Chain A
C-alpha cells in the first residue's frame, strides 16, 4: 500500500492503495466515489468509464499508478454543458431501467457530443457500442443522445 495523490473532480485526494490497483478501485474504495461502477473488470462493458484529462477511459483497464498528474473526472464531477443536456434527455426519455450501466453510458454520451455535436445513428453506435446495457435500453439511449444534441443546438 502507498499513499498516492489523485486529482479527482478538481480535488486532490490522498488515496492509500497499491500502485497496481485498477483506477476503478482507487476511485470506489480509495476515494469513496461509488458512482463509477464495476461491471466486467476487463474493459468490455463500459460501466467503469471515467475521463482522464477529459478523454474517456475504462478505469478497470489501467493501474492507478499510470494516472500520474492527469485529472480524473467521474460521474459525480461531470458538469459540462453536454453532460447537463445528456442528463436532462436521459430523464425526459426515461432511459435507465435497472440503471447499473448508466453512469458509464452518460460519460460516453457526453464525450461523444463534446467531440461530435451532431452525431448520426452510426456515430452513436460507434461511440456507444462499448457501453453494454443488460436491460437493452439502446433505443432510448440513441433517442436521448439525439435529443441532447438538439438541445445543445439552442
Chain B
C-alpha cells in the first residue's frame, strides 16, 4: 500500500470516529449533501442572441450566470454572517471561524491558514488555495435574491471598487473564483466552466448589465 493510502485510510477511520464521538460532520460531504446535485451545464452566450431586447437579454444572461453565483462553491465564502458555511448543504463552518480583518480569521483566533493551505489536500479532505479567504462583509450573498446580488455586484461601494471591466476580469480570471470549478474531493463543482461564466458576465455587461427584478 502506498504511504499516502495508509494515511488516507487512517484519516477516514479516525474521521469517522471523530464524527461519531463529537457528533459533527467533517469537511467532506455528508449523505444529505450527496443528494444536492450540480445544476449542470451553462448555456452559451449564443443561446441568448435571439432575445432582441437588450435589457431582457442582459437579465437572461445574468440569470444564467446566477446558476454559478448560487452554487455552494461560491456562496459558502459569501456568507450572510461573519461565519462561512461549508459543504453542498452550506452548513455553518466547523470549527467556528469568523471573517476577521481581511477575511482571514479573527486576530489571535483561528486563521483560515491554520487548516487551508496552498492546494487541496485530499488525505485530510481539506480544500486549499493560495488566496483562501472570506469575501468582505459588503459582498455577502447568502439570503439575497439574484436581483439583489446583481445590484450589489455592480455597486462599487460593495464590489471592492471594481468597474465593469475589472468585474468581468474577476469573474473570468480570478484564481480563487476558479477554484469553484475544480474543488477536488467530493465537492460538487460550480456549473459549467469559469470560461463560460466569464463569457456570460461579459455578455451581460456588454448588453447593459440590467438586473433581474426582485
A-side interface residues toward B, CB under 8 Å?
1, 17-18, 20-22, 25, 38-46, 49, 55-58, 60-63, 66, 111-112, 114-116, 119, 123, 125-127, 129-130, 132, 134
Contacts and interface: CB of A to CB of B under 8 A. Distances in A.
Contacts of A132: 18, 22
A47 to B, nearest CB: 10
User: Among the interface residues B12, B24, B28, B111, which one has the most CB atoms of the partner chain A within 10 A?
Assistant: B111
B110 A43 contact: no
B125 interface: yes
A115 B124 contact: no
A56 B114 CA distance: 6
Interface of B is mostly: loop
B123 interface: yes
Given A66-B117, A123-B106, A129-B95, A55 B124 contact: no
Interface stretch (B2-10, B48-56, B187-195): B2-10
Contacts of B15: 40-42, 44
B18 A126 contact: no
B123 A22 contact: yes
A61 B109 CA distance: 18
B96 interface: yes
A34 B121 CA distance: 22
A18 B117 contact: no
Interface residues on B, range: 35 or more
Interface of B: 2-4, 7, 10-12, 14-15, 17-18, 21-22, 24, 26-28, 94-98, 106-111, 113-119, 121, 123-126
A87 B114 CA distance: 22
Given A61-B124, A119-B108, 19 more contacts: A18-B4, A21-B4, A22-B7, A40-B26, A41-B12, A42-B14, A43-B126, A45-B22, A56-B111, A57-B113, A62-B121, A63-B121, A66-B118, A115-B107, A116-B108, A123-B106, A123-B109, A129-B95, A134-B21
Q: Which 4 A-B pairs have the closest CB atoms?
A: A41-B11, A116-B108, A115-B108, A126-B109
Contacts of B28: 42
B148 to A, nearest CB: 30
Nearest to A45: B18
Contacts of A22: 7, 121, 123-124
16 contacts: A1-B3, A18-B2, A20-B123, A22-B7, A22-B123, A41-B11, A44-B15, A44-B22, A56-B114, A58-B115, A60-B11, A127-B106, A127-B109, A130-B95, A130-B110, A132-B22
Given A20-B123, A22-B123, A43-B27, A126 B10 contact: no
A102 B116 CA distance: 22
A79 B22 CA distance: 32
A63 B121 CA distance: 7
A126 B4 contact: no
Contacts of B107: 115-116
Contact of A41 (B7, B106, B117, B119): B7
B27 to A, nearest CB: 6
